[in-house]
Structure 1
Amino acid sequence: MLTLSGAKSGAASAVRGRLFLFGWPLLAVIAFALAGCMPATTQVADADPADPSAKVARASYRSTVAPYTSLRPATPAPWRDRNDAVAPQPKQDR
């Protein structure tokens, strides 16, 4: 599939006289291939994972539903009072 899109891009760039249309997909494929070959290493602060006396962060627990409070069952208010509470006030000068 990449060969076909490269060929189409190359043919289009040859017609238009621009060579950069063929080069960027090929460079992107090469960059992704090389990025996949790079080792993902992280620097450990000279700690041995098998050392039982090594200092580690304390495990903590935070509930994801702790701030939740149930609002049901709620008694419905009369609709006329609720509507009047949010309605705009009539202007007195008219």
Structure 2
Amino acid sequence: MLTLSGAKSAAASAVGGRQCRFNGLLLAFAAFALSGCMPATTRIASADPADPAAKVAHIGYRSTIAPYTSLRPATPAPWRGRNDAVTPQPKQDR
């Protein structure tokens, strides 16, 4: 495939260069796609996970609701007084 791609690239560069850019992008995409199939070259953990004496990083705890403060009143107001305060006043002309 690389030989065919190289031949197309050489022919396209002689013609105009437009096909060459496309082949270059195609080759770069193929290399990127195939890089996911490669094994990792570095080891993530060198210690045995079953070893109780293995050193591990310390973990920390941060609350997700730490800045929260309640905005509710300490004692609820009587509902009848609040309801009467917002109801429309009856009309006097009837």
User: Shared fold (TM-score greater than 0.5)?
Assistant: no
TM-score (norm 2): 0.45
